[in-house]
Structure 1
Amino acid sequence: MTLFRKAIPAAALALAVTLSACSGGTGSEPTAVPSAAPTAEPTATPAAQESAGQTTGVLSTFTATDLDGNEVDQSILEGHKLTMVNVWGTFCGPCKQEMPDLAQLHEEYADQGVQIVGLVSDVLTQDGSLDESLVEDARTIAAESGVTYTNLLPSQDLYGILSQIYALPSTFFVDEHGVQVGTLYMGAKDKDGWAAVIDEMLEEVG
């Protein structure tokens, strides 16, 4: 079974409430969601799950909107050998600390077919609607960090991912078909640390 199994919306809504109640630090350690993660080391996970004889990726099919209200789907992955998905929260100090480095890496690795996509985890209200004040906070954080890459807002298709994120930031990689590459990483890294991981993932996708 893949790490990002399909989850019911109620689980994601409960997570969103918990996320909003947490407070983040300023170091590189992950912020617990909803409780302290057992380890900040990468967690080994299968690259994909087998369903009806076909390989299905964690992001093979999805729809969502970005921070600017634009509709986004799996086509955002096309033409990119590797997409780094960074799950973060507006309350999370380590998330915000690493974002300027991620913004630079997004630009520097573009010619190698790599992109970064953010997923903002804590912008839902208890009833599942978007909290526009938190969405605006996320826009401000991204702009102040120099982020130009797409940041997704939670959607029903992404609840399964969010329901299995226990610390922020959490980061995983997918290929152009949405199939997970490598492992899930919990916690922030500096620019050199993420560059080393990206290089390793590029070798894996070939």
Structure 2
Amino acid sequence: MKVIKKIVPLFIVIMMTISLVACGNSSTVSSQSSTDETEQAKTFPKFQGTDFDGNSVDESLFSKNEVTLLNFWFNGCSACVNEMPALEELNARLREKGAELVGINVEAGGSDKALAEAKEILSKQGATYRNLFISAGEEANEYIEKIFAFPTTVMVDKNGNIIGKPIVGSIEDEKKIDDILKMVDDVKAGKTVSYASDDDDKMTALMTEVDNIFLEHKDVWDKVFDSIKKNFDSSQKNNVEQADDTTYAEYLKAQIETVKDSFTEDELRTLDNDIKRIDEIDKQIQELDSNKDSNK
């Protein structure tokens, strides 16, 4: 699994493109009794946003549904776009159960152009379910920044509580849709939901390890991403979107090469060592993802 960590919020939506193929093969979910205290839900952070019709939206939207599925996506995410017809059908079935699917575009609030592109994508895919972007709410934005892969779908009950763990990857296949619908029924019946796979905690730990590498040498990595962001243009974006076989480490190394004159020799050695560590972690993540595929 090629994992791209969110470092610079506006820049990462472009970087995430090289990890999308792996996102479609993530975990299944199951339900269990609500007596398990370890599965108590956490509240989704308060936020203020705007839907694609220009209406103000906040966390009160959860109270209008028994369950709300939040589907996080961005314009350049092919896996996100490809699943939209299935999400449209899923939303119709959810509405019959008093539930709803809501898309949250993580870049549409950045510019009118990004919003227009998002609307056009939805129109072409025949997606009419509600979409919005979050414009305010520090904790909500921090929550989004911790999303490691797209699409990611989060289930929230009518009280605003997050139910179970995020569903990472596409949910367009029939089995996952059936699982989700069953989860909705379970929530309405007073049950909670959890992941069936133990590999997800291992995956999260590995992703956190990558995060810690960036924090360990924050100053130099901030310099990397600031430099890349300044030099990023539309032609580079197209190249990244086509780099489906590029690992995270390879991508970072290539980008650093373009701005290496901005760093000292010591900084370059630090970056080189960090990339080697990231590459080893990425191999472990790919192995976990392969195991999931083989166990299907």
The answer to whether TM tops 0.5 is: yes
RMSD after superposition: 2.8
1:88 is aligned with what amino acid? W
Q: CA deviation at 1:165?
A: 0.4
- Match of residue 30 from structure 1: 23
Whether 1:164 and 2:164 are equivalent positions in the alignment is no
- Identical-pair percentage: 25
Where does structure 2 lack aligned partners over 5 or more consecutive residues?
Answer: 1-5, 31-37, 190-296
Question: Structure 1 residues 24, 107: CA separation in 2 closer, same or farther (over 3 Å shift)?
Answer: farther
- Match of residue 14 from structure 2: 20
| Alpha-carbon displacement from aligned partner over 1:95-134 (angstroms, at most 9, x marks no partner) | 001011001111122121110011101235xxxxx21111
- Match of residue 9 from structure 1: none
2:12 is aligned with what amino acid? T
Partners of 1:122 and 1:90 in 2: CA distance:
8
User: The residue matched to 1:188 in structure 2 has which SS?
Assistant: coil
Mapping for residues 55-204 of structure 1, pairs under 5 Å: 57-59=43-45, 61-123=46-108, 130-157=110-137, 158-204=140-186
- Match of residue 41 from structure 1: 27
Q: CA deviation at 1:174?
A: 0.4
Number of aligned residue pairs: give it: 175
When the two structures are superposed, what TM-score results if normalisation uses the length of structure 2? 0.53
Partners of 1:93 and 1:24 in 2: CA distance:
10
Q: CA deviation at 1:43?
A: 9.3
Question: Structure 1 residues 48, 141: CA separation in 2 closer, same or farther (over 3 Å shift)?
Answer: same
| Alpha-carbon displacement from aligned partner over 1:56-101 (angstroms, at most 9, x marks no partner) | x115x32211122210122322231111110001000100010110
Which of the pair is proportionally richer in strand? Answer: 1
Which structure has the larger Rg over C-alpha atoms? 2
When the two structures are superposed, what TM-score results if normalisation uses the length of structure 1? 0.74
Q: CA deviation at 1:200?
A: 3.0
2:104–2:131: 8 Å Cα contact kept in structure 1? Answer: yes
Structure with bigger RCO (C-alpha 8 Å, 6+ apart): 1
Q: CA deviation at 1:42?
A: 6.1
1:25–1:92: 8 Å Cα contact kept in structure 2? Answer: no
2:163 is aligned with what amino acid? V
2:29–2:179: 8 Å Cα contact kept in structure 1? Answer: no
Q: CA deviation at 1:175?
A: 0.4
Partners of 1:123 and 1:202 in 2: CA distance:
28
Where does structure 1 lack aligned partners over 5 or more consecutive residues?
Answer: 1-11, 32-38, 50-56, 125-129
2:84–2:127: 8 Å Cα contact kept in structure 1? Answer: yes
2:63–2:160: 8 Å Cα contact kept in structure 1? Answer: no
